[in-house]
């Protein structure tokens, strides 16, 4: 077998890249180590307009919940920021979709390009092509290997990475609301962590996704006890009440960024290259920016017999994307530290800062446009 591009990982990004390359006339194969089955999950994905636009281009159509208003509040004070899409000429700030629904959609689109229960167990590098040995014993000749197989990727492990453990856990679950959220989302900062409420559709039903990032020392007696004790109180801050409608899933929170995104012929995208605190819901959107940039970089050079241009383009991709991702990672780290601070003087300044920010249309417009993606194509 021979394919110009081999993609390791049939996740959302891996399947998107395969389809985006197809639109450019470039063949690829996607390797997925697991069986052709998606476990049920309460996870949701928050797409910015840029990421949704990329999915639109490969004809991925889903029933998204749309957000056109976002309120950020401090539980212990009057500080708040209200973001509205209409204030800056945007129809919607974000699109929320069930993780399983989106994954099934992109896998269906990739179709027979996905080889399930296959993974890379060996790579032999040659001047003009590279031999990839699969777990089944098959060998594929290729020009490039894309690692989109997550933060624990085996083929990315040779590249050093910087890790940060936040000593926090994210709890996520689905809930029904006494008052319909409509197209509004909320985020509340308190001593009991950072709690986000987003409208979500699950199997045709309008629900609410709750994502609660909590210091590990707050949940020593268990997740259920913490949620039962604090959900009602935090809900009052946004004038609502919620009833849990699903299991509670938990994820330990950490971030990382690799020193490079290229170890030719391997190039990294998404969580294989970097991960970020879920505070602003930007993880998957950074991954889509990676994917879009990578597809552009390889389109003109992947089939050239001289690999020097491909290597140069991939190094440019690595430098550009790593720099941008590092900025976002450090920014989120700053926000996490600020909103987890319990010092009363810092709290006062934080509330003052939120209200001051809320009065500036320029600052809010700048922030929203930055979070919406590089450009609205």
Q: For the chain, what percent of residues have pLDDT higher than 90?
A: 61
| Cα gap 9→23, rounded to integer Å | 20
| Cα gap 224→208, rounded to integer Å | 18
Residues in the chain, overall count: 377
HSE of 334, CA atoms in CB hemisphere, 13 A: 7
Segment 174-178 mean pLDDT: 94
**259 pLDDT above the threshold of 80:** yes
Q: Write down the mean pLDDT value for the chain.
A: 89
Q: Which two tokens stand for residue 248?
A: 């509670």
Confidence at 76, pLDDT banded by 50, 70, 90: confident
Confidence at 374, pLDDT banded by 50, 70, 90: confident
> Could you give the angle at the alpha carbon of 116 between the alpha carbons of 113 and 122, nearest 5°?
95
- How many angstroms from the chain centroid is the CA of residue 369? 17
pLDDT in tens, 113-168: 999 999 999 999 887 789 999 999 999 999 999 999 999 999 999 899 999 999 99
Q: Which residues pair with 29 in a beta bridge?
A: 6
Q: Which residues pair with 125 in a beta bridge?
A: 130
What's the N-to-C CA distance of the chain in angstroms? 36
pLDDT, residue 373, reads 75
Fold adopted by 5-38+97-163+254-338: FAD/NAD(P)-binding domain (3.50.50)
Contact 212, 193 (CB under 8 A): yes
**52 pLDDT above the threshold of 70:** yes
pLDDT in tens, 299-347: 988 866 667 888 999 999 999 999 999 998 888 887 777 766 666 667 6
Domains of the chain, by residue range, sit at 5-38+97-163+254-338
pLDDT in tens, 190-212: 888 889 999 998 877 889 999 99
H-helix or E-strand spanning residue 177: strand 161-177
Contact 102, 52 (CB under 8 A): no
């Amino acid at each position: 077998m021979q394919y110009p591009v081999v993609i390791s990982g049939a996740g959302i990004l891996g399947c998107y890249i395969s389809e985006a390359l197809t639109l450019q006339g470039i063949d690829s194969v996607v390797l997925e180590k697991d069986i052709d089955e998606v476990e049920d999950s309460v996870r949701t994905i928050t797409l910015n307009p840029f990421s949704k636009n990329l999915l639109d281009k490969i004809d991925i159509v889903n029933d998204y919940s749309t957000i056109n208003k976002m309120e950020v509040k401090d539980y212990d004070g009057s500080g708040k920021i209200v973001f509205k899409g209409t204030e800056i000429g945007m129809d919607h700030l974000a699109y929320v979709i069930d993780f399983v629904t989106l994954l099934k959609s992109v896998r269906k689109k990739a179709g027979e390009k996905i080889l399930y229960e296959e993974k890379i167990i060996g790579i032999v590098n040659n001047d003009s092509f590279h031999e990839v040995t699969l777990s089944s014993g098959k060998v594929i000749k290729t020009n490039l290997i894309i690692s989109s197989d997550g933060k624990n990727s085996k083929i990315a492990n040779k590249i050093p990475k910087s890790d940060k453990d936040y000593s926090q856990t994210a709890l996520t679950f689905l809930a029904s609301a006494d008052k319909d959220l409509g197209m509004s989302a909320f985020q509340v900062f308190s001593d009991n962590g950072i709690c986000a409420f987003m409208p979500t559709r699950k199997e045709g039903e309008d629900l609410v996704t709750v994502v609660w990032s909590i210091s590990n020392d707050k949940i020593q007696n268990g997740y259920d006890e913490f949620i039962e004790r604090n959900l009602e109180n935090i809900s009052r801050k946004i004038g609502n009440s919620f009833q849990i409608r699903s299991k509670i899933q938990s994820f330990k929170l950490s971030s990382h960024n690799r020193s490079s995104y290229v170890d030719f012929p391997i190039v990294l995208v998404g969580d294989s290259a970097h991960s970020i605190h879920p505070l602003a819901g930007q993880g998957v959107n950074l991954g889509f920016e990676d994917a879009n940039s990578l597809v552009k970089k390889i389109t003109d050079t992947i089939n050239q017999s001289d690999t020097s241009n491909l290597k140069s383009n991939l190094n440019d991709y690595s430098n550009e994307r790593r720099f941008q991702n590092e900025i976002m990672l450090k920014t989120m780290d700053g926000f996490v530290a600020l909103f987890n601070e319990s010092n009363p003087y810092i709290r006062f300044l934080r509330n003052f800062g939120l209200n001051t920010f809320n009065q500036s249309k320029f600052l809010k417009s700048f922030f929203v446009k930055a979070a919406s993606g590089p450009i609205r194509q």
